[in-house]
């Protein structure tokens, strides 16, 4: 066989082997997925079907006002609107404080390993340094109830009962000399407490403070 004829035969044989290898990778059926030498699928060689998108987003079901009730615990601090049922005395608050607050705030709320004092500083806002306590800073007593209920104890927020929060509020107000030792706090009495710094804030009259919640056809 001549050299040219031999090269032509080898070329045809090589092409046949290459086509056979491709057939083993892609499969005998049109669109079959390619496979490795060990038979592991490598993915489809043909076009993939595209799943149609929904005609509009689906965000779940509407939330009713009753669903939001457990989260709606805000209090209007100027007049106490939203304060829950319950009551607590100064004496009761002293006991709750010793059990659940003193470890962080220290004896008699005068400062502990985690927080500073919550007593005193009344009138200090007119000088320097200012001492920030509920008695010296808060313009309205319901702020104290709202803050304690939302955030305390630090490692178990919102675990105190309403009675416990009222009692702690009464105790702290008494330690600051704002209410007497026999005071009882509840939804009626707490908004009537006159805080020393009541007139120490300016009214925020910017337009966005009067925004109304939009529920339909919002822009």
Q: What is the pLDDT along the chain (219 residues), one digit of tens a residue?
A: 555 554 444 444 444 444 444 444 444 444 456 677 777 776 666 666 777 776 777 777 888 888 888 788 989 999 999 999 999 999 999 999 999 999 999 999 999 999 999 999 999 988 889 999 999 999 999 999 999 999 999 999 999 999 999 999 999 999 999 999 999 999 999 999 999 999 988 888 888 888 888 888 887
Helix pair 90-100, 162-175: axis angle to 10 deg: 100
pTM: 0.66
pLDDT (0 to 100) of residue 16: 45
Rounded distance, CA 210 to CA 217, Å?
Answer: 19
Per-residue pLDDT, 104: 96
Residue 145 tokens read as 């109830």
Q: Tell me, what's the pLDDT at 27?
A: 44
The Cα-based distances of 193 to 78, 79, 139, 141 in angstroms read 11, 10, 10, 6
> Which residue's entry shows tokens 């509009």?
56
Which tokens sit at 161?
Answer: 């009962």
Q: How many CB atoms lie within 10 A of CB 152?
A: 20
DSSP secondary structure letters along the chain: --HHHHHHHHHHHHHHHHHHHHHHHH-SSTTPPEE-TT--EEE-SSPPPPPPPPSS----PPPPHHHHTTT----BTTTTBTPPS-EEEHHHHHHHHHHHTHHHH-GGGS--SSS---S--TTGGGSSS----HHHH-SBTHHHHHHHHHH-STTSTT-S-HHHHHHHHHHHHHHTTSS-TT-EEETTTGGG-B-TTTTSS-----GGGG-----SS--
């Amino acid at each position: 066989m001549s050299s040219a004829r031999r090269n032509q035969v080898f070329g045809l044989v090589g092409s046949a082997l290459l086509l056979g290898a491709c057939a083993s990778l892609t499969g005998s059926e049109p669109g079959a997925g390619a496979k490795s030498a060990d038979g592991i699928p490598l993915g489809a060689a043909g076009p993939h079907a595209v799943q149609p998108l929904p005609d509009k987003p689906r965000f779940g079901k509407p939330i009713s006002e009753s669903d939001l009730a457990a989260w709606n615990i805000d209090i209007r601090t100027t007049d106490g609107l939203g304060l829950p049922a319950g009551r607590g005395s100064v004496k009761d608050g002293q006991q709750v404080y010793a059990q659940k607050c003193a470890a962080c705030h220290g004896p008699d709320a005068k400062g502990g390993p985690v927080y500073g004092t919550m007593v005193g500083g009344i009138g200090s806002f007119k000088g320097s340094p200012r001492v920030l306590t509920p008695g010296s800073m808060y313009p309205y007593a319901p702020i104290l109830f709202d803050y304690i209920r939302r955030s305390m104890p630090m490692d178990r927020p919102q675990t105190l009962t309403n009675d416990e929060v009222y009692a702690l509020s009464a105790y702290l107000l008494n330690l600051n000399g704002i209410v007497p030792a026999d005071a009882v706090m509840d939804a009626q009495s707490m908004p009537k407490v006159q805080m020393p710094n009541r007139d120490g804030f300016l009214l925020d009259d910017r337009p966005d403070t009067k925004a109304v919640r939009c529920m339909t056809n919002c822009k």
